[in-house]
A and B are shown apart, each in its own frame.
Chain A
C-alpha cells in the first residue's frame, strides 16, 4: 500500500469533518482511506496536461433571480424541526467563553 495514513492525518480529518472516532475505528479508517487513495492514484496514469477541470458538465451560465421579495414570515417552518429552541431561535451550546 503506497498511501500510509498517519494518526495525525486521521485526527486532522476528524477535526475538519467533525467526526469522533474510537481507536479501533481510527485504525480501520486509516486502512480504508489508504486503500482508497491508492486506488484514486490510478488517475495519475492519465496525462491531463492542459485539460480544463470540468465542474459543470453542461455550459450553462447566468442563472439569476430578480431582486424581488417573494418570501414572507416563514419562522414557524424554520424552527419546526429544531432539536432545541428558545424564543424562536435555535439553541446551541455556548459559542464564546
Chain B
C-alpha cells in the first residue's frame, strides 16, 4: 500500500482500522517533502519535530477512543496567512519574517480538535495578492505537473503540496479565486464555501468582505469532510453565520437527476483557451448524460466584476495592512529618523511590489474626493452583480463554467503585466463579490499535459447542491491521473 496515494478520508479510515499508524502517515509525507520540496517549494515552514510529536499524541487519543472523527491522524498543510500558535506565520511577506502568533486561527483549532496533524505552512502570494505564488518573499512554488509553470495562486503552495503528495490536504483562503484557481492549475479539488461559513478569526485579512477559508484536497469527498470539520458559528467573528445544514458529507450522493445547471454564455465568448473550453463543455455534457438539465443563459455584468473587485479588495487591503508598521510585531527597519520615517522605511522594505501597488490603489480610491467615484461605485456594482446571481439562481441549482481562461502559465510570464494577470480572475472573482460557494474539480488536460479545472458555483448556503453535483461529476469522470514523471 502506498500511503501517499490515499485521500484524507481513506487514510483516516486506515488509521482507525489500525492498518496505518499516524506516525507512519506523518513519516511518509515528511519523506515525500524531503524528496520533493527542493523541486517544488510548497512550504515556507515545515515543522517536522512538531508533527512527529503531535502524531504520537493523536495516536494515543485514537487508541483511547477519544478521537473518532473522519480526519483523525491525517497530516495537513496550512496556508501561511492563517495564524498558528507558536509557529512562524509570514503571509509570505518579509514584513512578517519573524512573527510567531500567540493564538491559532479558529479553522486551525477545529482541525486540531478533529485530530489532524499540522505539517507546516504553505507558500502563497504575499498577503494573498497574486495569482501565481510568484509574489512570495520566500521564493516561487512550482507546479508539480510541470515545474516550468506556476501552481496558480494565491494558495499555490497549498495546491502544489496536495498535488505533489506533500500533504493529504491543505487549507487555503479565497478572496478572488485563490483556492479554486490553483486547485485548477494543480489538478486537485478546491472548495470555497459561502462567506461566513468558516470563521475568519486568525486569518490575516486581505479583503475582509471577500476572504473565506476553504480546502484543497484530492477529491470531493475530502472537501465535504473537511468543510464539515472547519465550518462553525464563531462568536469571535461578527460575520460568521450560523449554519443548521453543516452535515455536508450527507450531500455525497451520486445523482444529478433533474439538477438544473446553467452555463453562462459570456464565460465562453472571448479570451478563453479552446482546450479549456472544450474540456469544460465536455464535463457539462457528462452531467447532462447523468440526468442533469443543462442550459446556457446570459449572466450579465461578467466584465465588471474585475474592476469592482480590485477597487474593493485594494481599499480594504490598504486599511487591513496598515497595522504592519514595525511597532508591535514583524519586521522593523534598522535605521530611521523619527517615527514617520520608521513607518515608511519599514513598510517600503517589508512589502513587495504587488502589495505596494494594491495598497497605493486602495489608499487612493478611499481618499478625499475619490471615495464616491471609485469605492462607492464599486459597492453599487457589487450589489448589481449579487442581483444578477440571485436571478440566475431562481432558475438554476448550480452554475457551471471554467475556473480560469487558460491552464497554468509559465513561470515569470505574468507579473510584468498586472492587468493581464487580473483578467485571469474573471470567472472566479464574482463568486467572492456575491459571497457564493464555488468548487474547482479537475476535468481534463491540455496538450502540454497541464490540468484544466471545472468550476461549479452554488447559491449562498447551497453547498450541498454544489457538493452533490461535483461528486456526481467526479464519479462519472473516473480517476484523474497525473502524467508520468512525477
Contacts and interface: CB of A to CB of B under 8 A. Distances in A.
Question: In the complex, A touching B, CB below 8 Å?
Answer: yes
B219 interface: no
A93 B304 contact: no
Contacts, number: 163
Contacts of A57: 195, 209, 382, 386, 433-435, 460
Contacts of A13: 360, 363-364, 367
A39 B419 contact: yes
A60 to B, nearest CB: 7
Contact of B367 (A16, A41, A83): A16
Contacts of B131: none
Interface residues of B, number: 70
Contact of A48 (B318, B332, B339, B380): B380
Contact of B241 (A19, A46, A58): A58
User: In this complex, which of A36, A45, A63 has the most chain B Cβ atoms within 10 angstroms of its Cβ?
Assistant: A36
Contact of A82 (B329, B344, B435): B329
B45 interface: no
A79 to B, nearest CB: 9
Interface string A26-42: 00010011011101111
B357 interface: yes
B98 interface: yes
Interface string B314-329: 0000100010011111
A86 interface: no
A35 B361 CA distance: 11
Contacts of B386: 54, 57
Contacts of A8: none
Nearest to B432: A57
B196 to A, nearest CB: 7
Contacts of A81: 98-100, 102, 328-330
Interface stretch (B140-148, B224-232, B305-313): B305-313
A40 B238 contact: no
7 contacts: A19-B351, A29-B356, A36-B310, A36-B361, A52-B383, A56-B209, A77-B102
